Structure 1
Amino acid sequence: MMISLEEAQQWACDACGKPLVMREVVFLYLNGTFHVDLPACSECDFVFINEELATGKMAEVEGILEDK
């Protein structure tokens, strides 16, 4: 499940303490480019990827791309 804007605003960056905002993040993998809106730090641009996204959707896409 993706994180909502309201949920992202409740989080702060562990590295610098600044609030998270929703940003378009670009993933590059096996010649594929993916644009996804994810919570990121408003100061240092660290991106928050929750466990469900990392082990679910991202793992699924990784498997599909590797099978090609």
Structure 2
Amino acid sequence: MAGKDPTNDHGSPAAWTTVAIMLIGSTVSGLALIWDSPTIFFSGLGVVVAGGIVGKVMQMMGLGKQPA
């Protein structure tokens, strides 16, 4: 096939990076609930917020999904 298939879109580097960082942060926060550690819990939430910021910065750098 000549060109990209629009139905076969697997995201962008910005999206994959954002999801990976947020997954790590939510995993840390979830484990902190089991360990009964508020400090680690809120640190994990901070990682989730940082993931959103990193994703937005990467999108602004041109690594996000390009408009059609």
**TM-score strictly above 0.5:** no
**Comparing both chains, which one has the higher relative contact order based on Cα–Cα distances under 8 Å and sequence gaps of 6 or more?**
2
**TM-score with structure 1 setting the length:** 0.30
The structure that has the greater radius of gyration is 2
**TM-score with structure 2 setting the length:** 0.30
Flag the structure with higher helix content: 2
